[in-house]
Amino acid sequence: QVLLVESGGGLVQPGGSLRLSCAASTTSFSLVTMGWYRQGAGKQRELVAHITSSGSTIYADSVKGRFTISRDNAKNTVYLQMNSLKPEDTAVYYCSAHLGSVYWGQGTQVTVSS
C-alpha cells in the first residue's frame, strides 16, 4: 500500500504558474515510476507527465514546453512545475505511483481563470 498526498493546487490567472507536490509513503520511492494525471469537468482522466526511476520523462503534447515533472528521492516527493497556465489546464490533478498496481492520490484542484 502506498499513500500519496498532493498539495499546491489553487486559483491562478492565465499565464501564471503553480507547483504541485506529491509526497509518497514508500521506502521504494526511488525505484518507482511516478506520474501526474488530470481530470477536467465532464472529461476522462488523462496523462500529464511521467518520470521513471532513472529520471526519464514523458509529457502530454498539450503541456510540452510549459510543464516540468521532477523528483526528489531523498524526500520521496514528485513535483509538477506548471508555467504559462491556460484556462484549459483547469482540472483536478492526481499523483500516481506505478508499482505493478497503480496508486492514486486524493487529487488537488487547479483553476486557471481571470
Say if residue 1's pLDDT is above 90.
no
How is 5-58 classified by DSSP, letter by letter?
EEE--EEE-TT--EEEEEEE--TTGGGSEEEEEEE-TTS--EEEEEE-TT--EE
Q: Mean pLDDT in the chain?
A: 96
C-alpha cell at 60: 502530454
Place of cell 504558474: 17
Q: What pLDDT was estimated at residue 27?
A: 84
What's the rounded Cα separation, in Å, for the pair 40 and 1? Answer: 27
Q: What pLDDT was estimated at residue 41?
A: 95
Instruction: Grade residue 67 by pLDDT with cuts at 50, 70 and 90.
Output: very high
